[in-house]
Copies of this chain bind each other. A is one copy, B any other.
Amino acid sequence: MPPTPRVVLDRARLQANVDRMAATAAERGQALRPHAKTHKCPQVAALQLAAGAVGLTVATLGEAEAFAEAGCGDLLIAYPVWWTSDQAWRAAELATRVRLAVGVDSVEGVQHLAELWQVPRGRTREPAAGPVALPELVVEVDSGHHRSGCAPQEARAVARAGIETGFVVRGLFTFPGHSYTPAGRREVVRQEADAVAEAARGLRAAGVPTPHVSGGSTPSVALEEAGFDELRPGVYVFGDAQQWELGTCAPQDIALTVHSTVVSHAGGRLVLDAGSKALGADRAGWATGFGRLLDHPGARIEVLSEHHAVAVLPDGEPLPPRGSVVRVVPNHVCNAVNLAEELLVADDGVVTERWPVAARGRNS
């Protein structure tokens, strides 16, 4: 057993989370394409694919390469890519081996890809180093999160640019990130559905007869019943303190925790050896702390620095002794996993396997 802080994954809870989401999607006849940026781990992806996922979502080309290497044959880079020539040719090589789609959110973004790949001038490569193929394009639509994505009424022009320059335009995707909020989730999903409906009309007008529609996030997925062919939740597979606070997972569903040693009782508080270099520093405005303790639901991490988490327990609750190990639930599990080299897989609390975080740090 490596020393703390260490990332431990409860295999039974993980499998239950995988199965529950797969069943939801199957019942509703939706494809499930889980976002692999949460786990970055081939073994977790294999469980998702075995349970019926049609493929994986990734955020970067590097993640796509890592999961293709691990055997996944259908990948969506759900990001409005603006690549270098070298990245474009890496993607074109990858597209000969897997079914690949990439996001675009502007006419200029489409034109840039067309120039990089010399579409439609014969798809030749200069310098050529082997066979290449073109990914399909998927138009990113902003459904109210206001991060990236074109406005719904602009989707037609973006799709049109794709078709005119010789790409296959598969459809559209959106990320309802504003569903990460304690209230108003139903309204967010309504906005998302309206946005994709309008954008889908635009794509049909542009010449995509049956645009594929991909949406979803862990907090919103329970409500995305109509209008979506595909769902892309990520965090559901592990759960985290944000989802716990949003009520979209229960503490008994949280599969990943960071085991941390109590190193001090300074000031009558619990000082742990897991800081922002193990947990990540995420703290949404509505979050009640920098993370929580699975076995002390009333505790909150009130101070977080690189190698210290200072947790405050409710009045009267005794501090776990110095030297004991507690299970910390990070606020945002995607960033915590990206800080770890490996996940320790536990059966009934006993570590039986180690899974590498193979796509850790693959930001480009």
Set B60, B148, B261, B334: member contacting A271, Cβ < 8 A: B148
B263 contacts A81, CB within 8 Å?
A: yes
With A2-B364, A361-B339 as known contacts, state yes or no: A146 contacts B108, CB within 8 Å. Answer: no
Shortest CB distance A286–B (Å):
14
Residues in chain B near residue A135, CB distance under 8 A? none
Give the residue of B6, B146, B361 whose beta carbon is less than 8 angstroms from that of A267: B146
Contact between chains at A142 and B339 (CB < 8 Å): no
Contact residues in B for A261 (Cβ distance below 8 Å) = 82
Q: How far is the CA of A79 from the CA of B313 in the complex (A)?
A: 23
Which residues on the B side are within 8 Å of A267 (C-beta)? 142, 146
The 8 Å CB contact of A276, one of B80, B105, B277, B335, is: B335
Does A212 count as interface, using CB distance less than 8 angstroms?
no
Asked if A93 is at the interface (CB within 8 A of a chain B CB), the reply is: no
Chain B positions within 8 Å of A273 at CB level: 82, 364
| Copies of the protein in its oligomer | 2
| CB of A29 to closest CB in B, whole Å | 30
Bound complex: CA of A354 vs CA of B147, how far in Å? 33
CB distance from A83 to the nearest CB of B (A): 7
A266 touches B142 (CB 8 A): yes
Contact with B along A268-307 (1 / 0, CB 8 A): 0001010011101111000000000000000000010111
A84 on the B face (CB < 8 A): yes
Decide if A120 is an interface residue (CB 8 Å cutoff): no
With the chains together, A258 CA to B352 CA distance in Å? 39
Q: What's the Cα separation between A235 and B2 when bound, in Å?
A: 29
Given contacts A59-B307, A278-B363, A283-B283, 10 further A-B contacts (CB under 8 A): A37-B306, A60-B307, A80-B264, A82-B273, A112-B323, A148-B308, A149-B264, A276-B281, A277-B335, A306-B334
Residues of A whose CB lies within 8 Å of any CB of B are 2-6, 37, 59-60, 79-84, 86-87, 105-106, 108-109, 112, 142, 146-150, 177, 261-267, 271, 273, 276-278, 280-283, 303, 305-308, 310, 322-323, 332, 334-335, 338-341, 361, 363-364
Which 10 pairs across A and B sit closest by C-beta, in order of nearness?
A3-B364, A82-B263, A281-B281, A281-B282, A148-B264, A59-B307, A148-B266, A148-B271, A80-B264, A147-B308
